[in-house]
Structure 1
C-alpha cells in the first residue's frame, strides 16, 4: 500500500494533506524518515509514526451512538445539529455517516461508520434486518393491535407495512397510556408513529434499542458514543 493512502485511510488527512506531511519529513517508516508519498508499506507489519507517534492501521470505523432528541441523522446541515457534530475533533472523519436514520425527536441506537458495504447490507430491504423500538403511547394498546401489526397495517398514504411484532410492556388505564416494544423488518418514513396512528393512538416518546443483533448498551448516555467492540462488530456482521 502507498504511504499516502495508508495515512489517509487512518484519518490523518486527505490524500493531498498527507502528501505535504510526508514531504516535510513528518512521517517515519520503521524509524526511517520517508519523503516519498509513493513509498510502499505493509500496513500490518511496518511501524509507521507521525511526528514520533505510532499509527495503527484501521480503514473501517464503527461507532455506536446513543442519539439524543433534537439531533438529525445527517452528515451536515445548515440549521440543525447533526449526529456527526457530536464527535470530537480527534475522532471525526469526513467519510463517516449514519447507517439509516432516526427522526429528529427519536432517541437511541444509531450506527456510525464509513463502511458502505455493511451499511448496504443492514439497510437492504431484501435482508429484513430487525429494528426494535421502545415507545410511550397516548392510548391503550390492545391484543387487537398486536394481531393487526402481525398482519401488517395500512398506514397514511395507503402504504402496506410488513408484519411487525408488537409487545405491550405496560398499560396505565388511569392515564390512558401504554408502553410498547415494536420489532420492524423495514424502515418506512416515520413508520412506528404511522403504524400506531393507524390503530388510533399516538407515539409520545420513541427510542430504538436494537438493530439486528446489536443492542443499545445501558451504560452509553444520550449524546455519547464509542467504537464497537470486536464482539459487537461480529454480531452486526452476522459472523
Structure 2
C-alpha cells in the first residue's frame, strides 16, 4: 500500500501535514526514514511507523489456479470470471488480477488489492519471467528451440525477446513443452508457436516471477499467499 494513502486513511491527515511528516523524517519503514511518499509497503513485510505510531495495512494476496473457460476480468456478462472463483467473504473491494490469461488458458494468477505491486510486476523493464507448459500439435525440433532463444518474429514483423523453450515429452502425436518468457504480449505464446507453424493445443502458466503453481492446487481453487511467497515478492515493493 502506498505510504501516503496509508497515512491518509489511518491518521486522517491533511495533505500539508502529511508532507511535513515525510519532510521531517517522521515516516519510517523498518527503522529507516522514508521520504518517498508513494513507497509501497505492507505491514506483513515491513514495520511502518509514523511519528512513533505503528501502522498496519490490510492488503489481500491470493494465488489462484484459473481453469479454462474463466476470464481474467472483474465482470463479464457471459463468462465466469476469476472473482467468481472466490468465496464471498474473500471478494474484497479493489481485488484485481496481476496480468491476464486467455479464456482457454489455465494456470497461476496472482490476485491482490495491492495495485502498486501489480504495476511493478508487469513493468517491461523488470523482465519478470512467466513459465508455461503446453501440449502442441506438431513435433518441436532443436531448430525451434534455437529460434525461440534468438527471438521469435510474429507474422507482421513484431519480434519477441529471447525465450527459453524446452521439450518435455514427445509422442507419435503432440509434444509437451515448457516455455519461459519475460514479456506479456497479447496471445504471445500461441503467436510464437504459430510463427513456427506449430499449433498450441493446451496451455498452462505454472510460474510468474518467484511464484509457482502449487501441485496440490486444483483448477478453480485458490489460497492466500504464504509468508514465504510474500517475502519472495519483497523486491517488487518499491
Same fold? TM cut 0.5: yes
Residue number in structure 1 paired with 2:30: none
Question: 1:144 aligns to what SS in structure 2?
Answer: helix
- Secondary structure at the counterpart of residue 141 of structure 1: coil
State how many pairs are aligned.
189
The corresponding residue for 1:184 is: 181
In 1: Cα distance, 2:83 partner to 2:230 partner: 20
Indicate the residue corresponding to 1:166 in structure 2: 165
Residue correspondence of structure 1 range 116-135 to structure 2 within 5 A: 116-135=115-134
Find the residue that maps to 1:160 and give its secondary structure.
coil
- What is the rounded CA distance, in whole Å, between the counterparts of 2:208 and 2:233 in structure 1? 8
What CA RMSD, in Å, does the superposition of the two structures yield over aligned residues? 2.0
Q: Deviations over 1:96-134 (max 9, x none)?
A: 000000000001000000111110111000000000000
Partner of 1:208: 205
Aligned to 2:77: 78
Structure 1 residue runs of 4 or more that deviate by more than 3 Å after TM superposition: none
Say which one has the larger Rg. 1
Q: Judge conservation of contact 1:132–1:183 (CA < 8 Å) in 2.
A: yes
Describe how 1:19-98 pairs up with structure 2 within 5 A: 58-98=57-97
Q: CA deviation at 1:215?
A: 0.5
Report the Cα distance in structure 2 between the residues aligned to 1:73 and 1:237, rounded to whole angstroms: 25
How big is the shift at 1:196?
0.7
Q: Which residues of structure 1 form unaligned runs of 5+? A: 7-41, 45-56
Higher RCO by CA contacts (8 Å cutoff, separation 6 or greater): 2
Instruction: Output the TM-score relative to the length of structure 2.
Output: 0.75
Q: So what's the TM-score if we normalise by structure 1?
A: 0.75
Residues 149 and 165 in structure 1, CA contact (< 8 A), matched pair in contact too? yes
- Residue aligning to 2:224: 227
**Contiguous gaps of at least 5 residues in structure 2:** 11-52
